[in-house]
Amino acid sequence: MSTDILPTLAAFTGVPLPQRHLDGRDLAPVISSATAPAPRDIMHWTYQDSWAVREGPWKLTVEGGKGFLVNLEQDPGEWHNLGDQRQDLVQRFVDSHNHWMQGITDRRKSGV
């Protein structure tokens, strides 16, 4: 999500974006309207040794190597870890996160 900050601030302030590939998306419509759709089907976050993946109602958070899977529609307070019951989702989100991180690494290496 941190890559969404630049396009969003640029939209709010009217500042043109740099002429290079940006991974981020403008979140101004989502911030400005409660009914605007999310700009992504799947979202990734990372901070230090923690990361999260969200797709639809599902969110996997990993902190210190321990995962916590929740269905936000059924458990908006994030109280119940469903990781043991839904290992298929846990694995899919881990794979998605690894793929996303590899893309970031590849872009950094290529200077894009």
Domain ranges of the chain: 1-40, 41-112
Residue 36: the pLDDT is 64
Per residue in 22-60, is it b (16+ CB within 10 Å) or e — as a string? eebbbbbebeeeeeeeebeeebbebeeeebbbbbeebbb
Alpha-carbon gap, residue 62 to 89, rounded angstroms: 13
Residue 9: the pLDDT is 85
Residues 6+ apart with CB under 8 A from 29: 36, 39
Residue 105: the pLDDT is 75
User: What tens digit of pLDDT does each residue of 54-65 get?
Assistant: 888 899 999 998
User: What tens digit of pLDDT does each residue of 75-91 get?
Assistant: 989 999 999 999 999 99
- Token pair, residue 21, equals 């590939």
User: What tens digit of pLDDT does each residue of 3-50 get?
Assistant: 777 888 888 898 888 777 777 777 777 667 656 666 678 888 888 889
On the question of pLDDT at 112 being above 60, the answer is: no
Residue 1: the pLDDT is 44
Beta bridge partners of 59: 54, 70
Nearest to 67 by CA among 53, 55, 47: 53
Q: At 31, which amino acid appears?
A: I
Residues comprising the chain, all counted: 112
Q: At 22, which amino acid appears?
A: L
Residue 8: the pLDDT is 84
Strands across the sheet containing 66-71: 42-47, 50-55, 58-63, 66-71
Residue 30: the pLDDT is 67
* CATH fold of the domain at 41-112: Arylsulfatase, C-terminal domain (3.30.1120)
